[in-house]
Structure 1
């Protein structure tokens, strides 16, 4: 397929954001992965440096950065 690595959001360039998808058959659907954060109150763990500046540097261009840090 065609993947564009030159994306913009609100007229500003963002880091390359290719999306990779996969499709297959499962022998036993009871042993498949579930969607994350399905239950209200699920815990989200952010991995990275323990620094106030770290999220801005490590998550630049992400929805998390936009929503939480208003950048």
Structure 2
């Protein structure tokens, strides 16, 4: 291939940048913070308060009930 060395350089630079980003995220505790935030988000989404908010903000809730009765 004519540009094989160019593609190898791009692959090496990309792998270096990706590896350094992963290293930075591990060293700063990024994954631990994201894990905590995601678990808090899932706990909130499964709470009765969140269910009430979802039902209150759903403009089609009455339409869905009516279409269920007619079919």
TM-score normalised by L of structure 2: 0.24
> Under a length normalisation based on structure 1, what TM-score does the superposition of the two structures give?
0.24
Relative contact order, higher structure (CA 8 A, sep 6+): 1
Q: Which has the higher strand share?
A: 1
Q: Highest Rg: 1 or 2?
A: 2
Query: Of Structure 1 and Structure 2, which has the larger fraction of its residues in helix?
Result: 2
